[in-house]
Structure 1
């Protein structure tokens, strides 16, 4: 009788390896572990004011080609070392893409970009990519979208975002309360701060919710709360990276009794989804930092080897190497200029800042 009332719209239930099994296939290395621990510690110290450098979260809108992604990571690791005295660089490694209606949902969901949805393969390859990036000495940042995925690769992440479409979700706030990284909540797509601020408050408290454990068994997850939640300004109906918007965000955080930590997304609505405008947004943010802003903890930049973006083609050989298949990105050459110029402009500012005790 149950077949008449259950799973009426479900075509199949394929077994998924447990988090432990995937981790055994792609185990942590000593070098990767060291990078994760250093990355999390450094990001936390920046948010607490103990490290005077701004955080630069830089990388592709999404990872779709691990070869090109690692090529980019090697370049970014070298550049990160060059600017390390002034900037803390973390690579943006996004595997899961929220869609307004339909579309490619990201590397883990569909690693071959052909609607075969080889999620088991995508999860293992995604974990391997994160390990490879960390083994370069480059910490990684990602967006937490699927509430189960962090069990598979969360041990390789140093900073996590909760997106504009999910900041209001109870499921994602509960998940954020248990993540081992600092978590940035993006403002709503309309520009409203309410969802992000309420998300930070909610995630700072303990929660109990359903999830899975290392063995892949259903479990009640009980969290202590995440004390390092903060706002990511990504724009809305208008950009919100300007000094007035930052000051309004500061006041909203103060009213809510929260630490005044703000990451500014140079992409998305802040650049009108025009990648070529990201350098102008960054210059404005750097100017605010030089003028003495204490609340801006860092920025996010969407960047890849080639500028722009491209459609996903059936014939992959016809696709441009190192070019985004989701949002448009600035090129590697532009990225290098942006980071070097920012490091030069902020060197004296960072040197003058007096770290507070964490």
Structure 2
């Protein structure tokens, strides 16, 4: 009888390997584990104000080409060593893309970029890419969109974002409460901070919800709550929100909710009107706020790749430009180096005072 009432719009159920199977194919290594844990420790110490440095989440809007992505990671690893006195660098490794209507959903959903949706292949290749980044000694950041996906690769992630479209979702708040990483909640696309602040508060509490175990079985997941939630300002509602007034309002909202006053500024998205050439200006403005004594801003985000701008996905994938984003437009590598080195220079005499205070 249920055949008449369920799965009426479902055309098939394809086999998906369990998290344990994918992990067996791409196992964690001692070096990668230490890299992940070191990244998490550094971020937690920054959020706890035990480390006065700034953390920077920097990398492509999305990963579509693991070869170009690893090329970028190797360059970033060298730069991270140079800047470690003032900056904790974390590579942005985003595999899932929320779509306003339609479009490419990201490397895990469609790794071949042809609407074939070999999710089992995308999950394994995505995990392998994260492992390669961790093997370089570089911590990784990603956005948690699918509530099942963290079971497959969450052990290789050091920082997680809950996006502007999902910060109000109960499912994502519950998921965040069980993640092993610090979690940044982005303000809503209309610019409101309320959903993100409530999300941080909700994720800090224990939850019980339906999920997936490592073996692929349905399970009741029970969490203790995540004490490292924080606010990410990405602009919205037709205006940026990285200015001193907006940050002061964010500080007040977090204080009112009795949450740690930890704020990350996303230099991209509405804060730069999705114009990558404006990201350096946003970054410099935030650095000057730090020089003027701001203590609530603990991190920034930058969308950056090897080449500037972005490109549509062509029918003939051989026509793709190497190292150029297929989602949001990015700054190029030369600009990334300049932004981070300028930040290092501006913070060099600020970090000691932040340590004392």
1:221 is aligned to 221
1:336 is aligned to 337
2:281 is aligned to 280
In the TM superposition, 1:228-267 aligns within 5 A as 228-237=228-237, 238-267=239-268
In the TM superposition, 1:45-124 aligns within 5 A as 45-124=45-124
RMSD: 0.7
1:201 is aligned to 201
CA distance in 2, matches of 1:66, 1:282: 27
CA distance in 2, matches of 1:207, 1:159: 20
Alignment CA distance shift 1:355-1:316 (3 Å):
farther
1:161-212 CA distances to partner (integer Å, 9 max, x unpaired)?
A: 0000000000000000000000000000000011000000000000000001
Give the C-alpha shift of residue 338 in structure 1: 0.3
CA distance in 2, matches of 1:267, 1:60: 11
Give the C-alpha shift of residue 351 in structure 1: 2.1
Alignment CA distance shift 1:355-1:73 (3 Å):
farther
1:354 is aligned to 355
- State the SS of the aligned residue for 2:264: strand
CA distance in 2, matches of 1:93, 1:74: 13
Give the C-alpha shift of residue 4 in structure 1: 1.1
1:222-258 CA distances to partner (integer Å, 9 max, x unpaired)?
A: 0000001000000012100011110110011101101
2:305 is aligned to 304
- State the SS of the aligned residue for 2:349: helix
In the TM superposition, 1:169-184 aligns within 5 A as 169-184=169-184
CA distance in 2, matches of 1:316, 1:351: 49
Give the C-alpha shift of residue 15 in structure 1: 1.4
CA distance in 2, matches of 1:302, 1:163: 15
Give the C-alpha shift of residue 3 in structure 1: 1.2
CA distance in 2, matches of 1:110, 1:5: 30
Give the C-alpha shift of residue 352 in structure 1: 2.2
CA distance in 2, matches of 1:353, 1:202: 30
- State the SS of the aligned residue for 1:348: coil
Q: Do 1:51 and 1:355's aligned partners in 2 also have CA atoms closer than 8 Å? A: no
CA distance in 2, matches of 1:353, 1:284: 18
TM-score, structure 2 as length reference: 0.99
CA distance in 2, matches of 1:320, 1:16: 32
Give the C-alpha shift of residue 318 in structure 1: 1.0
Gaps of 5+ in 2: none
1:143 is aligned to 143
CA distance in 1, matches of 2:356, 2:297: 14
Give the C-alpha shift of residue 317 in structure 1: 1.3
- State the SS of the aligned residue for 2:259: coil
Give the C-alpha shift of residue 355 in structure 1: 5.8
Q: Do 2:47 and 2:228's aligned partners in 1 also have CA atoms closer than 8 Å? A: yes
Give the C-alpha shift of residue 354 in structure 1: 2.1
Gaps of 5+ in 1: none
CA distance in 2, matches of 1:2, 1:292: 64
CA distance in 2, matches of 1:48, 1:191: 26
CA distance in 2, matches of 1:324, 1:131: 21
1:325 is aligned to 326
TM-score, structure 1 as length reference: 0.99
CA distance in 1, matches of 2:329, 2:340: 18
Q: Do 1:305 and 1:332's aligned partners in 2 also have CA atoms closer than 8 Å? A: yes
